[in-house]
Amino acid sequence: MKITVLGCGALGQLWLVALSRQGHSVQGWLQVPQSVCAVDVISPQGQESRLQLPANNTAHLAASDLLLVTLKARQVSAAVRALLPQLQADCAILLLHNGLGTREELPVLVQPLIMGTTTHAAHREEDKIHHVYAGTTRIGPGNSQAQQASAIAQVLNQALPEVTWHNNITASSWVKLTANCVINPLTAIYDCCNGELESHVAEIEAICREVAMVMDREGYHTHYESLLFYVSQVIRSTTDNISSMLQDVRAQRHSEIDYINGYVLRRARAHRLSVPENQRLFDLVKRKEESYGQNDSALSDRW
Ligand code: NAP
Ligand code: PAF
């Protein structure tokens, strides 16, 4: 397949390595005007893959069968909009990010839109991407044109397993969103690893109750108890993790709060529901972000 990966950070580089290893014709799409994308990934087993892949080639983009978008949620809509005029009508666009709400920011697409979530864990240290946990990826249709696109899951599964296709991906994304609504702001506020949240039971329960209520109004039937069970499992299985939001806050970068608790707030407002615990955590994280740059040691927004 001809593939363009938009956003060559931690997750993007995992996919660039995995897809090129399978013999796919891949390129990276970068913000900077460069024709080469340097990729350096250390696998969970400690093996290093260093590649120089093509980048920003407009002919490659125009012939791509898949645009794999591995940007932070707030970067997605502007970056995808800018490339849309150059994509062929049957180029599938796969959005792989934490949170929800980017689909609503995009115009009506002619291309198949695929949405996904992933539990891989990778982070950048200097110029290398450390792939620390080989997780799973769930993808599914984000518009009617993508309903027949399940073969893409098989292609991706061969490159970086396990990838599974879910016809009702939005319901599944809401469940993953609940874990992010709990773990991300709480770890950022308490400046702690995921496992330490086990002592914050009341807040965890309150968030799960609110998300279950909003999900229900959205038409995704769930039980508060099953969300709570799922979130507790994620906390236990990622006990030593520094969540992506805590990493962002520590580095004084914008977090994805607008697409996590912020998305719950927007959907709650649409249904005239009150979600005070999500609002409180959202406000606390926003306050942290607003304090960036208020001292001399403020870090840049970039790594
Ligand atoms: P990341 O390392 O920040 O990667 C995003 C990359 O996109 C950065 O290299 C960024 O460059 C680049 N970029 C920003 N705007 C761009 C544009 N307009 N055009 C082209 N490139 C652009 O983020 P990530 O960790 O890979 O995460 C991506 C998404 O996956 C997030 O939603 C995250 O929550 C989710 N996720 C990540 C992991 C993980 O383990 N990393 C796991 C699960 C889910 P600059 O840095 O120069 O801005
Ligand atoms: O954003 C993150 O850090 C991860 O999605 C999760 C599941 C909360 C684990 O740290």
Each residue's pLDDT tens digit, 191-245: 999 999 999 999 999 999 999 999 999 999 999 999 999 999 999 999 999 999 9
Return d(Cα 154, Cα 14) in angstroms, integer: 17
Tell whether ligand 1 has an atom less than 6 A from the beta carbon of residue 97. yes
Q: Is 101 in the pocket of ligand 1 (CB under 6 A)?
A: no
Ligand nearest to the CA of 302: 1
- Compute the C-alpha angle 219/180/261, nearest 5°: 65
Identity of the residue numbered 145: Q
Does ligand 2 have an atom closer than 6 angstroms to the CB of 183? Answer: yes
- Give pTM, 2 decimals: 0.96
| Residue reference for tokens 């039937």 | 221
| pLDDT score recorded for residue 25 | 98
Q: CA–CA distance from 130 to each of 11, 94, 123, 133 (Å)?
A: 10, 23, 5, 9
Q: Report, as ranges of residue numbers, the positions in the chain whose pLDDT lies below 70.
A: 295-303
The ligand that comes nearest to the alpha carbon of residue 238 is 2
* Distance from residue 78's CA to the centre of ligand 1 (Å): 14
> What positions carry a catalytic annotation?
176
CB-ligand 1 contact for 10 (6 Å cutoff):
yes
- Ligand 1 atom nearest 124 alpha carbon: 2
Instruction: Name the residue with tokens 């994805």.
Output: 256
Q: Under DSSP, is residue 68 helix (H, G, I), strand (E, B) or coil? A: strand
Among the atoms of ligand 2, which is closest to the Cα of residue 256? 1
Total residue length of the chain = 303
Cα separation, 157 vs 163, whole angstroms: 5
